[in-house]
Amino acid sequence: MKKLSLFVLCCLAGMSAFAQADKGIAIIPEPVSMVQHTGQYVLPVAITVQAPLTQPMTPVLDLIKNKFSTATGKMVHLKASAPTAAIKLILNKVADNTIGKEGYYLSAKANGVTIKANTEAGLYYGMQTLFQLLPKEIESKEVVKNVKWTIPAVDITDYPRFAWRGLMLDVSRHFFTKKEVMSYIDNMAKYKLNLFHWHLTDDEGWRVEIKSYPKLTTVGAYNVKREGEFGNFTPPKPDEPRNYGGFYTQDDIREVVKYAQERFVNILPEIDVPGHSLAAVAAYPELSATPGADKYVVRSGERIMDWTKPGHPALVDNTLNPAGEFTYQFLDKVVGEVAQLFPFGYIHMGGDECAKNFWEQSAEVKALMAKENLKTQEEVQSYFEKRLEKIVESKGKKFMGWDEILEGGLGPNAAVMSWRGVQGGIEAAKLGHEVVMSPTTFVYLDYMQSDPIMEPHVYATLRLSKTYEFDPVPEGVNAKLIKGGQANLWTEQVYNIRQAEYMTWPRGFALAECVWSPKAKKNFNDFFNRVEKHFARFDEAEIKYAPSVYDPIFKAGFNPDSTLNVTLTTEVPGLDIYYSFDNSYPDRFYPKYTGVLNVPIDATQLRVITYRGKKPVGRMVTMPITELRKRIK
């Protein structure tokens, strides 16, 4: 009996320790496997790190020194051999096929931490996981006192599901400084995202210095500043100063590329053509097939396309001339200089949303169609894309474009980034082409994260739970041709880096898990429990994120007697909703939502706030009754 009681007590103690460890562990993206043990490791006053002291290891060692010294204030000693080291980083002499190029093994015990990997990238990702095992204060930008720096005892095996784990930042609509771009890369690297897609050109600005064509930046990089709702701005007057914007010199580009490489991030540059090219045309009007292009200016956000009509005709010709030889001479030099700046093997050449109504009117384009036996404007764009693909390949790079490049016929070696859903990616894969999935349905980070009354207005909503459903491999497609997945942050309504952070996180966490973690392990409730712990880490790091996931979802309807009702739901479980119709601000002492609400006849607004227990977690949301009625119609 005593033995049985002792056994039960031991089990309970073990379960308690396991539960405590589980409560504190919140790794994003979820590792392939993790076994937790009782106990923990306490970092010593001075941290000795055993690691190969080689040049390729410099990024990993710099990460360790900077992170520990900044937040803990502890001294870090790097040694090639140290049997009692706090942290041991080991490169496998014989490659372990289980973990591949970017995977790692992490073992934390009472006497220290060991991380093993086949490559320096694997050790880097192992360290990022180790930092997530430490208290949240490790993310602080200054030394934090009175923190016990402990690491729970755990064994982790981890490796990515996909090699292409991307985030795109549009720096054309609004210019982001070199330092801001670097901070964006820092944050994505923390979560094992390894591909930074840099959207460098569009109608609103050309951001990369091209020495062969200096007016691309002296003219094309600047517009008239406007604030408000992009797409509906007042057209600038001729005398308004064009001083809003900026560009990256070629030295800036090299610096950012090196910075990204040190975080094991590749950079995919995008030069968006033949549409979205107004900044280039404003600088060099001879690129246009339309007379009068010399009067064009870089767009500030005024209306230039009619999105209500088929083919979204342009009001201003923002395309390059597919029939002009100067266009291809221009692109040859541009691509040549870009190829020298970016070591990554691919160059993205856009191809999306090319309005063709001005091409239809061009005598040059009509002559090209007759000469090349092109029947449609889609075939004209295909002619352009295939010539451009040859230019890109002549510079030693692989050609990539948005899924519109499928229309009219795909070039022989083109890679496709599928954004209009997954169908374009499916079609390209069935033709034997490489594909990166980036569908609006799941990963367009410019979309609103909550109710439209709470977010900068965009034409669609994408909640965190929907992003978490993303799977880059559709059924029936050869998975070997799906290189991976990517989320895109277009910045029409994103004016600064703080808003870029707000739009990226926490949906960026969901993306990271969708492209790294095993599909079978995905569970939204478990994921969100970890997200909340990373909110606390972002607070420490002073990184902005969106609390939109706590906002309730409104659904309005009519009762049989034509009075209005409203149903409230929450995206995450365990939240209570408190509400008022009397124009006051509810808290947890107000009525709690338990079912469909009938709207009082004279009410003008519904206010709601979400709580977890006694703590408010959501924002105060004010919903006009007129808005609810409008949505029913």
Residues 53 and 80: beta-carbon distance below 8 Å: yes
Contact 375, 425 (CB under 8 A): no
Helix (H) or strand (E) holding 114: strand 112-117
DSSP-derived secondary structure letter, 103 = -
Q: What residue type is 373 in one-letter code?
A: N
* CA 348-519-572 angle, 5° bins: 100
Q: Which residues contact 330 (CB under 8 A, 6 or more apart)?
A: 213, 280, 284, 287, 320
Q: Decide if 276 is catalytic.
A: yes
Residues 6+ apart with CB under 8 A from 494: 170, 173, 174, 446, 456, 500, 503
Checking phi first, is residue 535 left (phi over 0); if not, alpha (psi -120 to 50) or beta? Answer: alpha
Distance CA 70, CA 140 (A): 7
φ/ψ of residue 18, rounded to 5 = -60, -45
What six digits make up the tokens of 561? 């007697």
Q: In degrees, to the nearest 5, what angle opens at C-alpha 385 toward C-alphas 275 and 483?
A: 100
User: 197, 276, 348, 433: which is the annotated catalytic residue?
Assistant: 276
Could you give the CA distance from residue 615 to residue 532 in angstroms, rounded to a whole number? 14
Q: Is 262 a catalytic residue?
A: no
Task: Calculate the alpha carbon distances from 275 to 103, 319, 425 in Å.
Answer: 40, 4, 21
Residue among 186, 306, 352, 353 flagged as catalytic: 353
Residue with tokens 């909340």: 532
Contact 346, 413 (CB under 8 A): no
Kindly name the residue from 120, 202, 513, 576 that is annotated as catalytic.
202
CB atoms within 10 A of CB 561: 6
Q: Is 562 exposed, middle or buried (0-12, 13-18, 19+ CB in 10 A)?
A: exposed
Backbone φ/ψ region at 582: left (φ over 0), alpha (ψ -120 to 50), beta: alpha
Determine whether 202 is an active site residue: yes
Catalytic residues: 202, 276, 353
